[in-house]
Amino acid sequence: MKVKEMLKTDDQSVKNMSLQEMLRVMDVATELRQQRESVEREFAVDETKRILRERLLKANELTGEKLTEADVDAAIDRYFQTLYTYSDPPNSWKVWLARLYVNRSGLLALITFFFVLMGLCWLVLRGLGFSMI
Range of the domain at 97: 93-127
Question: CA dihedral defined by 120, 125, 131, 133, rounded to 10 degrees?
Answer: -30
User: For 9, which DSSP code?
Assistant: S
The set of residues, in sequence order, having a beta carbon less than 8 Å from that of 14 and lying 6+ positions away, is 6, 7
| Shared domain check, 101 and 57 | no
Q: What domain count does the chain have?
A: 2
The set of residues, in sequence order, having a beta carbon less than 8 Å from that of 91 and lying 6+ positions away, is none
| Shared domain check, 73 and 102 | no
pLDDT digits (tens, 9 = 90+) for 61-112: 888 888 888 999 999 999 988 888 888 999 999 999 999 999 999 999 999 9
Tell the burial category of 67 from Cβ atoms under 10 Å away from its Cβ (0-12, 13-18, 19+).
middle
pLDDT digits (tens, 9 = 90+) for 35-60: 999 888 888 888 889 999 999 999 98
| Shared domain check, 68 and 18 | yes
| Shared domain check, 119 and 64 | no
Q: Is 52 contained in some domain?
A: yes
| Shared domain check, 67 and 16 | yes
| Shared domain check, 101 and 74 | no
